[in-house]
Copies of this chain bind each other. A is one copy, B any other.
Amino acid sequence: MRNLNRFISLSLSVMLSLVARLLHLRTSSCQGSRRSMATIVSGNKTSKMVRERLRNEVEKMKSQFSGFRPSLVVLQVGDRDDSNLYISTKLKAAAEIGIDAKHVRLPNTASQDEVLQSIMSVNENLSVHGLIVQLPLDSVNPINTELITNAVSPEKDVDGLSCVNAGKLSRGDLKDCFIPCTPNGCMELIRQTGVSVAGKHAVVIGRSKIVGAPMHDLLLWNHATVTTCHSKTPDLPEQVSRADILVVGAGRAEMVRGEWVKDGAVVIDCGINHIPDETKASGKRVVGDVHYTSASQRAGFITPVPGGVGPMTVAMLMENTVQSAQRFLLKNQTRT
Which residues of chain A have a CB within 8 Å of any CB of chain B? 7-8, 10-12, 14-15, 18, 146, 162-173, 198-199, 201, 207, 209, 213, 216-217, 220, 223-230, 232-235, 239
A227 CB to nearest B CB, Å: 4
Complex CA distance for A28 and B217, rounded to whole angstroms: 39
Query: A12: nearest residue on chain B (CB-CB)?
Result: B11
Q: Given the interface contacts A162-B167, A163-B163, A166-B167, does A230 sit within 8 Å of B223 by beta carbon?
A: yes
A235 CB to nearest B CB, Å: 8
Please state if B163 and A167 are interface contacts (CB–CB under 8 Å).
yes
Nearest 3 pairs between A and B by C-beta?
A11-B11, A167-B167, A163-B167
Select which of B18, B146, B164, B227 is within 8 A of A164 by beta carbon.
B164
A–B pairs, 15, beta carbons within 8 Å? A8-B8, A8-B11, A10-B15, A14-B14, A14-B18, A163-B163, A164-B164, A169-B170, A198-B232, A220-B228, A220-B230, A223-B230, A224-B232, A225-B229, A225-B235
**Chain B positions within 8 Å of A15 at CB level:** 10-11, 14
A127 CB to nearest B CB, Å: 26
**Chain B positions within 8 Å of A216 at CB level:** 228
A232 CB to nearest B CB, Å: 4
**Chain B positions within 8 Å of A220 at CB level:** 207, 228, 230
Complex CA distance for A18 and B235, rounded to whole angstroms: 29
Please state if A230 and B234 are interface contacts (CB–CB under 8 Å).
no
A197 CB to nearest B CB, Å: 10
Complex CA distance for A199 and B10, rounded to whole angstroms: 47
Complex CA distance for A224 and B228, rounded to whole angstroms: 9
A120 CB to nearest B CB, Å: 18
Q: Given the interface contacts A164-B163, A168-B163, does A233 sit within 8 Å of B11 by beta carbon?
A: no
Select which of B201, B213, B225, B227 is within 8 A of A170 by beta carbon.
B213
Given A14-B18, A198-B232, 9 further pairs, Cβ under 8 A: A8-B8, A14-B15, A162-B167, A167-B168, A170-B217, A171-B213, A199-B234, A225-B235, A226-B227
A279 CB to nearest B CB, Å: 38
**Chain B positions within 8 Å of A169 at CB level:** 170
Complex CA distance for A164 and B167, rounded to whole angstroms: 6
A148 CB to nearest B CB, Å: 15
Please state if B172 and A170 are interface contacts (CB–CB under 8 Å).
no
A183 CB to nearest B CB, Å: 13
Please state if B225 and A172 are interface contacts (CB–CB under 8 Å).
no
A44 CB to nearest B CB, Å: 30
Q: Given the interface contacts A163-B163, A213-B171, A213-B172, does A233 sit within 8 Å of B14 by beta carbon?
A: no
Please state if B230 and A227 are interface contacts (CB–CB under 8 Å).
no
**Chain B positions within 8 Å of A198 at CB level:** 232
Please state if A232 and B228 are interface contacts (CB–CB under 8 Å).
no
**Chain B positions within 8 Å of A173 at CB level:** 146
**Chain B positions within 8 Å of A170 at CB level:** 166-167, 169-171, 213, 217
Please state if A225 and B233 are interface contacts (CB–CB under 8 Å).
yes
Complex CA distance for A169 and B224, rounded to whole angstroms: 21
A15 CB to nearest B CB, Å: 6
